[in-house]
Amino acid sequence: MSRPPIVCDTTLLLYLGRIGRLDLLPALFDPVHIPQAVVLELDMGRLVRQDTINPRTLEWARLVSVPPDLVASLPPNRLGTGERAVIAHALAYPGCIAGLDDLQARRLAESLNLTVVGTIGLLLRSKHAGLIPTVQPLLDAVVAGGFHLHPTLYQVALDLAGERPAGPAET
């Protein structure tokens, strides 16, 4: 099975790092690109939380510079520098998936005909690829780590994974 390339935004790396499952990225995608703007955002995050990942230490990650003219060529938007760099890089490399969680960023990327995957989609792909047995424990872990997930989307993710929410033991 060929693995498509991906370019990752901060949120995807941050939460997969917090739950100790960064290994899912290179298992599903090749190469894994991380724009320098995202590296800098994660550097700033380490000032607040020392457990924030440093992508420079990921041997499978390709850190990339995104030319400012590519970023400037995007339609007007209010996205952060990391999100803009992800979208610009994905546009410059046809077939590259944009790893984004922010709704506005996802909408812009999709309007530009990019394929988008976020943290939840990555967990679902991981289950379908047989890399993880169940999605719910990892969903619960990212939420416990601070990921904002609407209860309806949580349920949709479990439905797509073919899982029922864990609850009290049935008698």
Instruction: Read off the pLDDT band of 88 (50, 70, 90).
Output: very high
Helix H or strand E encompassing 168: none
CA nearest neighbour of 13 among 150, 160, 170, 145: 145
**Chain segment 55-72, per-residue pLDDT in tens:** 999 999 999 999 999 999
φ, ψ at 35 (rounded to 5°): -65, 150
pLDDT tens track for 33-53: 999 999 999 999 999 999 899
Domains in the chain, CATH or no CATH each: 1-171 (3.40.50.1010)
